[in-house]
């Protein structure tokens, strides 16, 4: 492989304009495809086959008017309760919203609240009338009873006096007829009262069902309106979202402030923000410090941008044909920038050192591609394997996310191996500053500098960080493991969910909407649960209504349910829709339990009411996604680790090194989880990382972090350990090879890690809240993995093991193909034979 890449590097160097032209053509083609075929991004994380999706599909078929997405808009009065003018302004805005093509209907909070209050008042009045009616019937009933008693007594007296029955009937018949007529009137009145009582009981049940649900706050200062769309919320175009916000904002003229919920305000049309640009700027600064010139520093950045343009552009081009979440291009962007800079940097840094040592530029580029490029190739393969394996859990949105990111990383690898040599050919000697050239020339002109270089290299390897670690390997090992173990402790309380408005920045409209809604109506109003019931066939309207209320009563009996309201009934009276309001927000642990309890009570509700229920809606869907992702973690981790172990076995031809690499990754992963829980779930350093409302961790963060961090951790393992293996294969003792190999790789690996951490950290303050914890987790994970695991624990263990670190059974050595990651075949064939010991020369040139 090293020889093949050597030839590829030479070809790219000699045919630089052909290679550059081909990449320009690819960029233009991908850009045109992205512009022509891109679709609307969404945050639709539904999983086909789950109850949530099945019920949603059924609802769309049987009750289309209730199947579209809905979102809330909170209106807050400026000073005191709403005035009539303010109420009119809100109603007018909602009426205007209904004229939008994408809006199905709106719910006017003031009209609906008035209806609820009128219903309560009418119920109270009806109960008073019923009580008065019963009182009115009490006297006639008493008179009838007295009359009946008198007639009965008279009849007994006449019979005792010996009067014949006919005479008795003739004398009392008229009075009996009058009593019968009175009884008939009394029965009719009682029947009417009973019918009225039944209606009152039904009205009372309806009122009970709506208890806990308010659309206007009790103090009259806030109102929440519902907007029902014809399509799902995730399918709304950015311009439609903006239209809704603009129309709602017109109420400001009446002294009212409108806050649209997160579902409406979420802007997923932009990838870059200020913080992301700042992260790239820090990476550029590191490159300038390391490489010495703007041209040299700009080269890795340019390569990363080309890779991102092609990879992310291709992702956008497919978004019109594939349902794609907004985080897919964001993940591809993060990884494309980070690995694109790093992979190019490894080749450029190797070439720079070799040229300063006096190597011919063409030979240097070819050799750098064959050696460092070989490490880049296998490091990239581990990242690609880890990301592509995201298809294994069977979650469509996750598969698209993983494949798009894997494709972008693959492009970054190809760019590093082809375009970087071509651009290096164009740049030529401008890669290195005149000062560095002068120092290198002076150094190379000194007689006997080779031995001085070797001595300097020896001193550097024994006195730097690698020397310190290998002088105290047991202390370094225990300290590193203890540090990561302590940081990992919070990971045991990891709780997963999808973010709600409470996790948005405090100055955002979405957060203010969440905060006002939670304060005025309860947190549960921000995330209602939709329950769909299948009613028996052949029910009358009254029977169907009674069934709805029976189900609502059963739903309301579940712990932590504030309200359960029937909201829709199909025309055939077979499908009913209920809105269940939990006590707390959609991402809270209690709401997750409510979803579980509702599903657990299905059989009980069906037995009691004859109605089978199913759950759907955003809140239930989020719970399903989190549960599915949690279940997918163990097999995913096993498959990714297993495949990568095989790849590392090929690269290092050792049993111990792959196992050590994997064990170190597990430590880094646990520490990253612990830090995420501490910051985003517990709120530690919340002011620093802009976490105003700590809550559950993003549900698909763990599985993405496993894939990404494992790939990147193996990157650094390849670069660090390949340097050690290269020294070992060239005749050094195993322990000495640890020091010298570490010394040669440490500077570039440290710079690469700082660059990657900077790029990821730029996303910690992204305008997309969903991306923030992911950026933090990857930045922190790379930080501890590079500096604690790869640059401390790994060299300590390798030094302690000595020769045993490179042990491989003979039978396995015979059957494993030799991928030659250290480039030994290049020396055997004579290619790059003058490349020995270039690191000291580069150090002298600085």
On whether the CB atoms of residues 413 and 337 are closer than 8 A, the answer is no
* Structure token pair of residue 82: 């709403």
**What is the C-alpha to C-alpha distance for residues 221 and 783, in angstroms, rounded to an integer?**
48
Residue 79 CB partners (closer than 8 Å, separation 6+): 255
Sign of CA dihedral 617, 623, 626, 631: negative
Q: How sure is the predictor about 29, in pLDDT bands with cuts at 50, 70 and 90? A: very high
Amino acid 392: pLDDT: 80
* C-alpha to C-alpha distance for 196 and 746, rounded to whole angstroms: 87
pLDDT tens, position by position, 574-583: 889 898 989 8
Torsion of CA 428, 430, 432, 433, to 10 degrees: 160
Q: What pLDDT, on the 0 to 100 scale, is given for residue 844?
A: 39
Q: Is the pLDDT of residue 48 over 80?
A: no
Question: In this model, does residue 141 exceed pLDDT 50?
Answer: yes
Higher confidence at residue 195 or residue 287? 287
* Six-digit token string for 696: 């559950």
What is the total residue count of the chain? 846
Average pLDDT over residues 182-192: 75
Report the distance separating Cα 361 and Cα 423, nearest Å.
12
- For the cut 70, the answer to whether the pLDDT of residue 275 exceeds it is no
What pLDDT score was predicted for residue 91? 93
Return the pLDDT at 838.
44
E strand spans, 475-622: 496-497, 529-534, 561-569, 575-582, 612-616
pLDDT class of 795 with cuts at 50, 70, 90: very high
> Encoding tokens for residue 812?
């396995």
pLDDT over threshold 80, residue 644 = no
Determine the average pLDDT of the residues in 520-543: 87
Residue 588 to residue 709: CA distance in whole angstroms: 28
Cα 297 to Cα 284: distance, rounded to the nearest angstrom: 6
Provide the 10 A C-beta neighbour count for residue 745.
Answer: 28
3-class state of residue 591 by DSSP = helix
Q: How much is the pLDDT for 342? A: 84
Does residue 846 surpass a pLDDT of 50? Answer: no
Q: Name the token pair of 764.
A: 């910690």
Sheet holding 222-229, edge to edge: 103-107, 222-229, 70-77, 256-260
Quote the CA–CA distance of 824 and 3 in Å, as a whole number: 9
Residue 824: pLDDT over 90: no
3-state class (DSSP) for residue 270: coil
Q: Taking a C-beta distance cutoff of 8 angstroms, is the pair 397, 44 a contact?
A: yes
pLDDT in tens, 669-708: 999 999 999 999 998 988 888 887 788 888 878 888 888 8
Q: Are 81 and 219 in contact (CB under 8 A)?
A: yes
3-state secondary structure of 579: strand
Is residue 836's pLDDT more than 60?
Answer: no
Mean pLDDT of 585-608: 89
Burial zone of 391 (CB within 10 Å; 0-12 exposed, 13-18 middle, 19+ buried): middle
Average pLDDT across the chain, whole number: 82
**pLDDT (0 to 100) of residue 164:** 77
Q: How far is CA 533 from CA 548, 558, 593, 596, 805, in A?
A: 8, 16, 20, 17, 63
DSSP 98-166: TTSTTEEEEE-HHHHHHHHHHHHHHHHHHHHHHHHHHHHHHHHHHHHHHHHHHHHHHHHHHHHTT--HH
Q: Which two tokens stand for residue 417?
A: 């191996």
SS3 649: helix
Q: What is the largest CA-CA distance in the chain?
A: 159
pLDDT of residue 845: 41
SS3 sequence of 403-458: HHHHHHHHHHHHHHHHHHHHHHHHHHHHHCCHHHHHHHHHHHHCCCHHHHHHHHHH
* The pLDDT value given to residue 755: 84
Q: pLDDT tens-digit profile of 68-124?
A: 677 889 999 977 899 999 999 999 999 999 999 988 888 899 888 887 777 666 666
pLDDT of residue 321: 73
Nearest to 584 by CA among 562, 599, 610: 562
- Range with the poorest average pLDDT among 458-467, 564-573, 823-832: 823-832
Report the run of H or E that residue 661 belongs to, with start and end. helix 656-676
Considering Cα of 321, then 325, then 326, then 329, what sign does the dihedral take?
negative
Alpha-carbon gap, residue 648 to 657, rounded angstroms: 8
Residue written as token pair 């300590």: 796
pLDDT band at 840 (very low <50, low <70, confident <90, very high): very low
Picking from 109, 69, 118, 61, the residue whose alpha carbon sits closest to that of residue 87 is: 109
Nearest to 55 by CA among 44, 66, 41, 45: 66
- At 622, is the pLDDT very low, low, confident or very high (cuts 50, 70, 90)? confident
For residues 382 and 718, the answer to whether their CB atoms sit within 8 Å is yes
Between the alpha carbon of residue 394 and those of residues 628, 629, 771, the distances in Å are 10, 10, 22
For the chain, percent of residues with pLDDT exceeding 70:
86
* Mean pLDDT comparison of 6-15, 313-322, 425-434, highest-scoring range: 6-15
pLDDT at 412 over 60: yes
Does residue 213 carry a pLDDT above 50? Answer: yes
Tokens 């086959």 found at: 49
Of residues 427 and 272, the one with the higher pLDDT is 427
Q: For residue 400, what pLDDT is reported?
A: 85
Name which of 69-83, 211-225, 353-367, 493-507 the model is least confident about.
493-507
* pLDDT at position 820 over 70: no
- Per-residue pLDDT of 454-511, as tens digits, reads 556 666 666 778 888 989 999 999 999 999 999 999 998 988 877 777 777 778 888 8
Give the pLDDT confidence score for residue 843 in this predicted structure.
Answer: 41
Closest CA to 392 of 23, 758, 638, 31: 638
Average pLDDT over residues 529-553: 88
Residue 841's pLDDT is: 40
What is the rounded CA–CA span in Å between residue 593 and residue 582? Answer: 10
Distance between CA 705 and CA 386 in Å, rounded? Answer: 10
Show the domains of the chain with their CATH numbers. 1-37+293-430 (1.20.1640.10), 69-272 (1.10.287)
Instruction: Report strand pairing: 697-698 vs 496-497.
Output: parallel
pLDDT higher at 209 or 698: 698
Separation of alpha carbons 208 and 202, rounded Å: 10
**The two three-digit tokens of residue 26, written as one number:** 């690819």
Of the ranges 210-219, 328-337, 482-491, the best mean pLDDT one: 482-491
CA–CA separation, 10 and 507 (whole Å): 54
Q: Which of 184-198, 296-310, 441-455, 752-766 has the highest mean pLDDT?
A: 296-310
Q: Which of 437, 430, 282, 412 is nearest to 345 (CA)?
A: 412
């Amino acid at each position: 492989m090293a020889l093949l890449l050597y030839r590829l590097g030479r070809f790219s160097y000699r045919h630089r304009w052909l290679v550059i032209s081909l990449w320009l053509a690819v960029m233009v083609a991908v850009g045109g495809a992205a512009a022509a075929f891109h679709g609307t991004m969404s945050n639709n994380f539904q999983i086909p086959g789950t109850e949530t999706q099945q019920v949603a599909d059924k609802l769309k078929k049987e009750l289309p008017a209730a199947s579209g997405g809905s979102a809330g808009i909170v209106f807050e009065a400026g000073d005191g309760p709403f005035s009539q003018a303010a109420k009119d302004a809100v109603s007018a805005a909602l009426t205007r919203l209904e004229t939008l093509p994408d809006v199905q209907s709106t719910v006017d909070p003031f009209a609906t609240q008035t209806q609820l209050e009128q219903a309560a008042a009418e119920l109270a009045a009806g109960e008073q009338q019923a009580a008065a009616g019963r009182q009115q019937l009490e006297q006639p009933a008493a008179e009838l009873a007295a009359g009946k008693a008198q007639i009965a007594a008279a009849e007994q007296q006449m019979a005792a006096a010996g009067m014949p029955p006919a005479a008795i009937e003739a004398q009392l018949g008229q009075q009996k007829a009058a009593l019968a007529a009175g009884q008939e009137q009394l029965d009719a009145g009682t029947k009417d009262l009973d019918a009225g009582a039944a209606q009152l009981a039904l009205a009372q049940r309806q009122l009970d069902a709506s208890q806990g649900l308010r659309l206007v706050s009790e103090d009259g200062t806030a109102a929440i309106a519902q907007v029902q769309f014809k399509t799902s919320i995730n399918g709304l175009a950015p311009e439609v979202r903006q239209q809704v916000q603009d129309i709602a904002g017109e109420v400001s003229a009446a002294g009212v402030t409108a806050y649209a919920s997160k579902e409406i305000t979420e802007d997923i049309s932009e990838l870059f923000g200020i913080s992301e640009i700042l992260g790239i700027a820090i990476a550029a600064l590191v490159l300038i410090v390391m490489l010495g010139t703007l041209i040299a520093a700009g080269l890795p950045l340019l390569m990363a941008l080309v890779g991102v343009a092609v990879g992310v552009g291709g992702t956008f081009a497919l978004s019109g044909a594939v349902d794609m979440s907004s985080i897919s291009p964001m993940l591809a962007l993060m990884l494309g920038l980070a690995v694109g800079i790093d992979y190019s940097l490894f080749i450029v840094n190797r070439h720079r050192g070799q040229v300063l040592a006096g190597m011919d530029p063409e030979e240097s580029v070819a050799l750098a591609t064959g050696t460092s490029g070989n490490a880049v190739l296998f490091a990239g393969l581990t990242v690609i394997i880890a990301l592509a394996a995201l298809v294994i859990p069977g979650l469509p949105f996750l598969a698209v996310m993983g494949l798009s990111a894997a494709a972008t990383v693959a492009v970054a690898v190809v760019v590093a191996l082809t375009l970087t040599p071509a651009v290096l050919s164009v740049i030529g000697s401008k890669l290195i500053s005149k000062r560095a050239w002068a120092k290198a020339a002076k150094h190379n002109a000194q007689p006997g500098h080779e031995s001085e270089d070797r001595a300097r290299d020896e001193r550097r390897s024994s006195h730097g960080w690698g020397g310190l670690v290998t002088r105290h390997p047991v202390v370094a090992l225990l300290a590193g493991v203890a540090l990561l173990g302590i940081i990992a402790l919070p990971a045991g309380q990891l709780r997963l969910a999808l973010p709600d408005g409470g996790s948005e920045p405090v100055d955002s409209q979405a957060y203010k909407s969440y905060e006002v809604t939670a304060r005025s109506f309860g947190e549960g109003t921000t995330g209602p649960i939709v329950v769909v019931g299948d009613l028996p066939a052949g029910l009358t309207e009254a029977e169907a209504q009674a069934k709805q209320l029976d189900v609502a009563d059963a739903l309301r009996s579940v712990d932590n349910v504030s309200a359960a309201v029937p909201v829709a009934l199909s025309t055939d009276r077979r499908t009913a829709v209920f809105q269940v309001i939990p006590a707390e927000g959609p991402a809270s642990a209690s709401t997750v339990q409510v979803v579980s309890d509702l599903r657990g009570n299905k059989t009980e509700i069906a037995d009691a009411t004859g109605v089978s229920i199913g759950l759907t809606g955003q809140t239930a869907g989020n719970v399903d996604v989190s549960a599915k992702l949690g279940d997918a973690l163990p097999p995913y981790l096993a498959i990714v680790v297993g495949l990568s172990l095989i790849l590392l076995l090929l690269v290092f031809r050792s049993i111990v090194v792959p196992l050590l690499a994997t064990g170190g990754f597990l430590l880094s992963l646990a520490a990253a989880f612990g830090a995420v829980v501490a910051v985003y779930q517990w709120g530690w350093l919340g002011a620093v990382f802009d976490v105003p409302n700590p809550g559950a961790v993003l549900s698909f963060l763990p599985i993405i972090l496993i894939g990404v961090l494992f790939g990147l951790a193996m990157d650094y393992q390849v670069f660090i350990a390949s340097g050690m293996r290269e020294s070992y294969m060239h005749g050094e003792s195993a322990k000495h090879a640890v020091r010298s190999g570490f010394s040669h790789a440490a500077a570039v690996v440290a710079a690469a890690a700082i660059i990657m951490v900077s790029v990821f950290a730029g996303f910690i303050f992204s305008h997309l809240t969903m991306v923030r914890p992911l950026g933090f987790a990857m930045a922190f994970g790379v930080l501890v993995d590079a500096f604690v695991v790869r640059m401390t624990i790994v060299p300590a263990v390798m030094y302690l093991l000595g020769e045993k670190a490179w042990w491989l059974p003979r039978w396995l050595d015979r059957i494993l193909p030799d991928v030659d990651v250290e480039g030994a075949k290049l020396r055997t064939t004579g290619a790059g034979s003058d490349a020995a010991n270039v690191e000291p020369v580069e150090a002298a040139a600085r």
